[in-house]
Amino acid sequence: MFIAITREVSRAIIHCELTHLARTPIDINRARKQHYRYETALQKLGLAVLSLPEGPELADSVFVEDTALVLDECALITRPGADSRRPETDIIAEILTPYRNLFHIQAPARIDGGDILQVGKQIYVGLSTRSDTNAIEQIQDFLQPFGYELHAVTLTGCLHLKSAVTQVAHDTLLINPAWVDKNNFRGVNFIEIDPSEPYAANAVMIGETIIYPTAFPQTQRRLDKAGVQMITVEADELAKAEGAVTCCSLIFKI
C-alpha cells in the first residue's frame, strides 16, 4: 500500500519564497480547490492520502516534497535552503517516525527535496540556490549501507532539479534540456518538453501513470505520443508560488 502525505494550502502563501518568478496575486481559494483535486487524483490512483492541516504562518508548507526524501529503507529529513521553510520539517518528521528510521541533514548543509530525483538506486541531486554539496556528502554517508549511488547535477535557470527533469516511465525521464544536461543521467530514455513550455518537465509518477498539469498541452501531446498514461490536473495557481505537482506530496510504501 502507498501513502501520500499532503498539506493544505497556507493562508500565508501570498508571502511565499520566490527565486525565478515575479510575484503575482494568488487566489487562495482557487489554489485550495486545485489542491483538493490533486489529492483526489492521488486517491484515484489507489493511494491513501494523509492530508495535514495548513501551517498558517508557513507560506510554502503545501510543498511537502521539500521536507524529506522517503526511501524503502529510511527517510531523510531535509534542511531547506530558505530559512523561512525550516520549521516545516518538524511535523513531517513526526508523521514519518512510525514508518521509517530517520536521518536528519545537519547545519550548515541545506537541501530541498525538490532537488532530489530517485531513479531506482540512482539518486540525482541538483546543485541549486537551495541545495549544496555539504548536504550531498551527508546523504551519501547516510545511504551508503543501502547501495544507492549519488550524483551531483548542475542546473541552469530553474529553482529545483525536478523543475527540469522527472521520471514518467520505468526507463524514461521528461526533461527540459535547456535547464539540465541529459548526460547527467544513466541508462534512461528521454522525452523532451516542448520548448514553448519551459516549466513542463514536472510530473508525478505513480505506478504506470503520471499526474500532469493541464497548463502544458504541447508537451502533453509528446507524452501521449510516447504512450505515457496520465491524469491531468489544474495546478496553475500554485505555479505562481514556484510550485509544481511533485512538490505537493510525499509518496511512499507502507
CA atoms within 13 Å, Cβ hemisphere of 18 = 15
Whole-angstrom CA distances from 24 to 14, 149, 237, 241 are 9, 39, 10, 9
C-alpha cell at 5: 502525505
* CATH number of 232's domain: 3.75.10.10
- What 3-state DSSP class applies to 143? helix
Model pTM greater than 0.85?
yes
Kindly report the number of other CB atoms within 10 A of residue 184's CB atom.
17
Q: What is the mean pLDDT of residues 6-33?
A: 97
Sheet hosting strand 68-70, strand order edge to edge: 68-70, 75-77, 102-104
> For the sheet containing 122-127, what is the strand order?
116-119, 122-127, 149-154
Find the catalytic residue in 15, 160, 170, 248.
160
Mean predicted lDDT score pLDDT of the chain: 98
Measured at the CA of 90, the angle between CA 56 and CA 152, to 5 degrees, comes to 110
For 19, the domain range is 2-253
pLDDT tens figures, 47-101: 999 999 999 999 999 999 999 999 999 999 999 999 999 999 999 999 999 999 9
- 16, 35, 158, 247: the active-site residue: 247
Per DSSP, the three-state class of 213 is strand
Per-residue confidence (pLDDT) for residue 217, from 0 to 100: 98
What confidence score (pLDDT) does residue 16 get?
Answer: 97
Split at pLDDT 50, 70, 90, the class of 7 is very high
CB atoms within 10 A of CB 54: 18
Confidence of residue 3 (pLDDT cuts 50, 70, 90): very high
Average pLDDT estimate for 3-21? 97
Structural domains of the chain, count: 1
Nearest Cα neighbor of 243 from 72, 35, 87 is: 35
**160 an active-site residue?**
yes
Known catalytic residue at 248: no
Neighbouring residues of 220: CB distance < 8 A, sequence distance ≥ 6: 212, 214, 230, 232
- The predicted pLDDT at position 204 comes to 98
Sign of CA dihedral 240, 129, 118, 167: positive
pLDDT cut 70: percent of the chain above it:
100
